[in-house]
Amino acid sequence: MADITIKAAYATVADEDGLRFVGFVTADEDGYALFRQPMGGGPIWFELNDEDLGAEDAVERIIRTATGLEVTIRPARVSRFGFAGSVTIRLDRCEGAEAALQALADMLGDRLEVPQAGG
């Protein structure tokens, strides 16, 4: 079970000031998960609900599941997330999820694990 769960209602992808942003936002807009990376590549910033709950190079890996994403935080960074070591991002009713997932896959490369069906 994840330490924190974000039930995303919509997802966004935006490019601004040389950065790409991929965000997953709750229906009441009080909760979110945000990934940010320079357009040319480089470290990924990840934050939850507030910039104070975020860090660069915090994501160890992400597993795409049938209902969303399971994010594992690097042990050296968990203090930046209120000592949460894992985050679930639920996407079962998330508008714009596919475009956001593709952008996130481009950012993360092999840190995004997608289990193969039947395997």
**pLDDT tens by residue, 47-63:** 999 989 999 999 999 99
pLDDT value of position 2? 76
pLDDT < 50 stretches in the chain: 119
Q: Interior CA angle at 85 toward 9 and 6, to 5°?
A: 10
HSE toward the beta carbon, residue 99, CA cutoff 13 A: 11
pLDDT value of position 117? 61
pLDDT value of position 1? 62
